[in-house]
Amino acid sequence: MALKRKKSTRLINLKTSNEGIRQVLGDLEADIMELLWQKSPASVRDVHESLAQTRPIAYTTAMTVMSRLAEKGILKREQHGRAYLYAPTQSREEFCSETISTVMRGLLGGFGEPVLSNFVETVGAEDAGKLDELLRLIEQKKGEADRSAT
């Protein structure tokens, strides 16, 4: 039975001290997702064998984490014989994009103007060239909005 995920209802706990998807997933969850984005569908046994090459991990731990990822709607699972095969519900890029959108909507809804100001300030401090790219994207989006309004 495949689980369906409700869009934008996923609770996100942001861990800014981590990098990449580890900011929103635990280390083991992130490792499992990376494996499944590379090769899926896969069974718990497949994932466990891959993980066991780099860390000590119990089969039941991998099974529990994968089941929880399926409950969260991040993975889907289908029964094949006595085993389940798991696959991501989204590509890595889609997962990252949706996560960023959820975080941004939450920040903008809660803080509004200060979020925009700090975003521009942070982008400019990191790389002034990124401000030009941001301006290009804003102008592109405004053009799209103008075209759809007419």
- Report the pLDDT averaged over residues 16-20: 84
**What is the C-alpha to C-alpha distance for residues 148 and 91, in angstroms, rounded to an integer?**
28
Residue identified by tokens 């975080």 is: 103
35 and 42 in contact (C-beta within 8 Å)?
Answer: yes
- Report the pLDDT averaged over residues 19-47: 95
**What is the C-alpha to C-alpha distance for residues 130 and 77, in angstroms, rounded to an integer?**
40
Chain centre to alpha carbon of residue 135: 26
pTM recorded for the entire structure: 0.78
Q: In the chain, at which residue ranges do the beta strands (DSSP E only) sit?
A: 42-43, 75-80, 83-88
Spell out the CATH class of 20-92. Answer: mainly alpha
Write down the domain spans for the chain.
20-92, 112-150
Question: What are 80-115's pLDDT values in tens digits?
Answer: 999 999 999 999 999 999 999 988 888 888 888 888
Q: What is the CA radius of gyration of the chain?
A: 19
**What is the C-alpha to C-alpha distance for residues 123 and 132, in angstroms, rounded to an integer?**
10
Assigned token pair, 47: 């994932």
